[in-house]
Structure 1
Amino acid sequence: MRDEEIVERITAMRQRDSVPARIGRHDVRMETMRLGAAVGELTTIFRVRDGAVTLLRADRGSFREDVAAALLDAADETPDELSGRVHVQPLTVDDLRLDRVVAYRSEMGWTGDPELDAVTTTIAPVHRSEVRPDEPTAAFEDNIGMLMRLPINTWSRPPKPRADTRQLDDWPGGRMRRSRRTAPWPAEYLFTEVAPDLGSGVRVEASDVRGHRLVVSRSWDRLTGTLTLPGTDTELPVDVPRLAAWPALAPIFAGGDVTLATLTGSGRRERDVLDVTYGTEEGGIEVPALRSLDYCIDLLDVILRELESWAVFASRSDAVVQVRCEGDKLLWLETPDAEAGSSVGKYASLDEVVQMLTVLAREDRSAVAELEDLTTVIWG
């Protein structure tokens, strides 16, 4: 198609006029519109040259002429044939936190005209931590739209480091499922909202775009595991507080330098916490998670609402106290003795159960055997 015909077809398909402009050394056409709070002011720039279209978009009022000029310059270095994969190259613009250009032939289209879409290359600023060079275009667009929810058209945004993640062990009821394939997650979300609450013994694998492979599990109030360096069999130990995991692990996923010092973090032991598993007929079984003592005490009200509801509380050294609702406001309280194949317990008041949970959390021991009027239950 002739360049003039391309401009005419774009105008007809989009049903709006574009304005000729000059950005850097490039002749382009521009559109600006306001699309509501979610998108804000959207600037669309397209350059038509030699029968091909180069497309840029900036939303939320984030358009900058110097960024657009740098992107168009980079587009001149993009291969003509992208073969269904993204092309990534460096980008340096003052006061811009995004440091890479990604170029791709969108499989989602932009005009609704397949012939125009076939000759259109989309370019955008990204961060080195967000995209794997030469990854399939379809996978990258999934990351933009559904998985990472990468706001690729917001040029003023901070980087959103990516972690290609899979769960290696079963975690019934957990936030993830065991999988052989990885899926991209926002790394910060993974290590602030998911990994700190991993079930005991559940391992998660997360890789950055450079190929660092991290495998961690929760060890009480810490995340522990190994980091394998890209292209090697070298493994470094990882041991960080679970609630401060992201500050410690961010350099891996943000594209920074990785040293042994970054993979270990000191921190105070968490106080007044217990590992708790509970089940109700209505809600099913909740997976083991480390919770505050206050949470565990409040949970007793949930257990008391439904006959046969139960909860198991464990301390750091695996001392155990468990309760079960066996009647109207009636709690059976016990502590198991696996070696003896039995447990000791009693029907307890709410105050007695609260006392036992407090000792379990603060003294790391079960005090059930110190109560009066106990009954021994032989298993089996």
Structure 2
Amino acid sequence: MRIGVPKEIKIHEYRVGMTPPAVREAVHHGHEVLVQKGAGFGIGLFDEQYVAAGARIADTAAEIFAAADMIVKVKEPQTAEWKMLREGQILFTYLHLAPDPEQARGLLDSGCVAIAYETVTDSRGGLPLLAPMSEVAGRMSIQAGAHCLEIAQGGRGMLLGGVPGVPAAKVVILGGGVSGTNAARMAMGLEAHVTVIDLNLHRLYELDMQFGPSLNTIYSTVDAIEESVLGADLVIGAVLVPGAAAPKLVTEDMVKRMKKGSVLVDIAIDQGGCFATSHATTHADPTYVMHDVVHYCVANMPGAVARTSTFALNNATLPFTLALADKGYKEALLGNPHLMAGLNIHKGQLTYKAVSDALGVDYRDAKTVLAA
């Protein structure tokens, strides 16, 4: 199979779909890899390294999209990219379609086969291709939130961990999954006062056993969220419904009643955000203030630490990339129900129910579509 790796074009996105070691592995499996010139330059992965790994360098994205059987990316395709996709071409990347009807329509119209990293599952019910970036985003959320609490950023002028004789900041984390757990670990390491709120009692038990009395765990109700958010200095939104739009757990009324200069960091913004006042921002302009509350809602947070993120992501995606290339997408998907869960769009048909529910677009079962 001919695999294409274009340079990411989303603003301040320096990650790349395949590293030189991943390319070498694909070439070792007998595949051809085309990498766009300068695709990894921003994180110190140079064209010479890709050539040494066996890749062929293409000058433009148009060359990549025209020649490749499968496109391997990081971020969802931008408008210029989805217009270059063709019928039957495989797209393997993050999609986050639920809050993005325009992209969904573009991919449906292209006739491509779109497989989303964020909905591929594993035998334990986890999301193995989302987990590495969730780890990064969770850890980053605390350093971003701590920075936003500084007075020059519009924050309350608080040091997250306080100092002897002065109380630490109160950090509330909505969601105890991968992102939330990593956020809690970082916040506790900085000696903040940390509370995690989640609907899953078993998960709260696991967190309690993992972190002990230093972490407060609370079962999620409207009352619990409201009380905790109103008392918080920093709130991390780390909720996830796989493939679906994030639930709006914090209302605009709650935001209005929060303390002046408090901070919201919305990790769930890729799926539409879990704060009613959230809208996506960029690394170039990461924050805005609404109702005297600082909002950090960068839609590709791990892109800020692009080298770490790229290698972590490649470790997770490479086995699936090779399976798609070695077997062809139909055999690979039909032979692996966890990879099958990643199929969101197949030749003009939407095949992921949570996206269908969010967008109001007709849905067809992935297995049925592939078997036809």
Superposition TM-score tier, normalisation by shorter sequence: under 0.3
The structure with the largest helix share of the pair is: 2
TM-score (norm 1): 0.22
- Higher strand proportion (structure 1 or 2): 1
Largest Rg, 1 or 2: 1
TM-score, structure 2 length as denominator? 0.23
Structure scoring higher RCO (CA < 8 A, sep ≥ 6) equals: 2
